[in-house]
Amino acid sequence: MQEQSRINKQAWEYRAYEFWEKRDGTPAEYAAIIKQDPAACLKKHRRHFEDVAGKTIANICGSNGRKAVPLALLGADVTVFDISEENAKYALELAHYAETSIHYVVCDLYAIDLERYRDTFDLLYLEGGILHYFADLERFLQILFTILRPGGQLILSDFHPVGRWIDADLTYRPRYFDQALQSGDLAYKTHFTDAEQTDFPDVSVRYFTLSEILNGVIATRFTLERFDEHRGWNGENIPSEFTLLATKPLEGSNS
């Protein structure tokens, strides 16, 4: 396992299950909410999943199943790939209580079995801030291209590279073109007390510019279909996230 992956696996297996219960409730409680309206749980991306019954979907770094379980309830055959055993435990319990099923593969995505999953999935869904955990963006995107079937679609939603460096008070931190790996706080660290936070391991991240992301997708031979930028949760007039849609050409089979 690569050093960045090893660091991030250790971090994401530190009290993750406990965090999901803090934020979302027990798997049984959260499942009851999801079952009321699975499509609503997909939020701004729900329009991309209006007809997923019978389709195979890979939810990359799908964490606690908050998107995989709604998609399964809508009739999709969903496989989550994630590095954390704690995330898997919560997600599988969530699927159980939601009376559906998902496949969950705990692995370093760099080490995914490409022969097994080559040209397999109709849709790849990545959301919630993922790219910075993969310093080798070229290799990461090539893996995505390989496991997507020809004609399949990539739905990638991530933090906007510009918005990431603008603080809540609109102060800009001039780090946009930094390329080095750096240590960062685990995403849910602040949900614990100050005393507890001292024991949290750091994650290892590498941030990308918008041109690195777009050019990486194009260089991997995806066909870029659409790129949307999103405001912050409170409607701030700065780009907070983006959603990128791309397809794998029909002649792009890896067989």
CA 26 to chain CA centroid, Å, is: 21
Percent of the chain exceeding pLDDT 70 equals: 98
Quickly list DSSP for 27-66: HHHHHHHHHH-GGGGGGGGGGGGTT-TT-EEEEET-TTST
β-pair partners for 126: 156
Half-sphere exposure of 193 toward its Cβ, with a 13 Å CA cutoff? 2
Nearest CA to 215 among 227, 228, 206? 227
| Mean pLDDT, rounded, of the chain | 95
User: Given this model, what pLDDT does residue 179 score?
Assistant: 93
CA distance 208 to 192: 29
CA distance 247 to 251: 11
For residue 165, the surrounding DSSP H or E stretch is none
Nearest CA to 145 among 215, 203, 222? 222
Q: Higher pLDDT residue, 103 or 175?
A: 103
φ, ψ at 74 (rounded to 5°): -85, 0
Tell me the pLDDT tens digit for each residue of 23-61. 999 999 999 999 999 999 999 999 999 999 999 999 999
Tell me the pLDDT tens digit for each residue of 194-220. 999 999 999 999 999 999 999 999 999
User: Given this model, what pLDDT does residue 255 score?
Assistant: 44
Average the pLDDT over each of 18-27, 65-74, 93-102, 157-166 and give the range with the smallest value.
Answer: 157-166
CA distance 41 to 127: 13
What pTM was computed for the model?
Answer: 0.94
Q: Higher pLDDT residue, 193 or 238?
A: 193
CB count in 10 Å sphere of residue 42: 21
User: Given this model, what pLDDT does residue 170 score?
Assistant: 75
User: Given this model, what pLDDT does residue 168 score?
Assistant: 66
Overall average pLDDT of the 10-20 stretch: 98
Please name the residue that has the structure tokens 């750096």: 182
pLDDT band per the 50, 70, 90 thresholds, residue 169: confident
